[in-house]
Structure 1
Amino acid sequence: MTDNDKLSNEKDASICDVLKSDTSEIIKKLESQTPLIFQNYSNLYSQYLHMWDDLFGTCYISEKEFFDKLNIDPIVLKQIKKNSESIKKSSLEIIDMNSKFWDEYFKMRISAVKSYDSFLHSMMESYAKMISQFNQPSNKNKK
């Protein structure tokens, strides 16, 4: 029996009970899909990176014989290696910086959501107090 079935059988069910139950069910469904979505994205991204690695591997095999026949001066090869290492170093640093950025970004967003959640709880408490005052008989009616 689902929460909705239970609620429909109860005389005391309120609109808040119904909305809370339905909202919770939707959120739980979304939450259950999160690991699958991230795993699929991870698989896609890994395949994308693997494709680029294969592409450069294929280029290496295709071009190696051609470049080997050119008899490039070792000084030029040394400079090409130096340039390549510089690009590689910069790329690895950028990857590390991006990883740190996204880590801090998500920590900040989580903190913001927690702060907003706390704010909403405070506002709902004030709202509940205000609503309860409307439900109490006023002093004017007692006189």
Structure 2
Amino acid sequence: MFLSQQVYCITLSNTSDESEISICDIMKNRTSEIVKKIECQLPLNVQQYSDLYTAYLHSIDDMFGTCYISQKEFFDKLNIPQETLREFDKYLDSLSKLYQNWIDLNSKSGQIYVQTRLSMIKSSDQFIHMAMDSYAKMLAKFNEMCDSNTRKLVK
């Protein structure tokens, strides 16, 4: 069991059924449980995807290695002129560089995407905190009004 999963399990077992709780406690605790569970699974999911993708890439590389042995004998018998082979190599070299540039561009795009999303989450989080502060102030005012009305009724 991962350390993060152990901490998660200990956290769940430390909740006491005898203490008083509110609806807010219930909703917060249950939401936190779900978030922590997803968080615990994240390293495993990333590792599994990485292992799968690595196996896929190795399989493709191995396939071309296996084909090389069979094809070399066949193509060597065709006596393709060296100049043609050199031109073909140049062509594939340009395609290879183009594809590698695309990979770099895609990686950079992914990095920018993640940075943008993180920035959006941070901004959203700040907005939510401001909204919750306003909400808390409104509830406090409401409670004050209820208390003052209750006092007036008691007198």
Q: Same-fold call, TM > 0.5? A: yes
Q: Tell me what 1:53 maps to.
A: 61
1:98-113 superposed matches below 5 A: 98-113=106-121
Evaluate the alpha carbon distance shift between residue 140 and residue 24 of structure 1 in structure 2; reply closer, same or farther with a 3 A threshold: closer
CA distance in 1, matches of 2:147, 2:80: 99
1:48-127 superposed matches below 5 A: 48-127=56-135
Q: Tell me what 1:2 maps to.
A: 13
Instruction: Report the alpha carbon displacement of residue 138 of structure 1 after superposing the two structures with TM.
Output: 5.6
CA distance in 1, matches of 2:148, 2:30: 40
CA-atom RMSD in angstroms: 1.8
Instruction: Report the alpha carbon displacement of residue 29 of structure 1 after superposing the two structures with TM.
Output: 1.0
CA distance in 2, matches of 1:92, 1:55: 20
Q: Is the counterpart of residue 16 in structure 1 residue 24 in structure 2? A: yes
Q: Is the counterpart of residue 44 in structure 1 residue 52 in structure 2? A: yes
Instruction: Report the alpha carbon displacement of residue 10 of structure 1 after superposing the two structures with TM.
Output: 1.2
What do the CA deviations read for 1:95-125 (whole angstroms, capped 9, x no partner)?
A: 1001101011101101111110111111111
Shift >4 Å, 4+ stretches: none
Equivalenced residues, count: 140
Partner SS state of residue 102, structure 2: helix
Q: Tell me what 1:134 maps to.
A: 142
* Alignment TM-score, normalising by the size of structure 1: 0.91
Moved more, 104-113 or 20-29: 20-29
Instruction: Report the alpha carbon displacement of residue 137 of structure 1 after superposing the two structures with TM.
Output: 3.0
Work out the percentage of aligned pairs sharing the same amino acid.
49
Unaligned runs of 5+ in 1: none
Residue type matched to 2:56 in 1? Answer: Y
* Alignment TM-score, normalising by the size of structure 2: 0.84
Instruction: Report the alpha carbon displacement of residue 140 of structure 1 after superposing the two structures with TM.
Output: 7.5
Q: Which has the higher contact order (CA 8 A, sep 6+)?
A: 2
Unaligned runs of 5+ in 2: 1-11
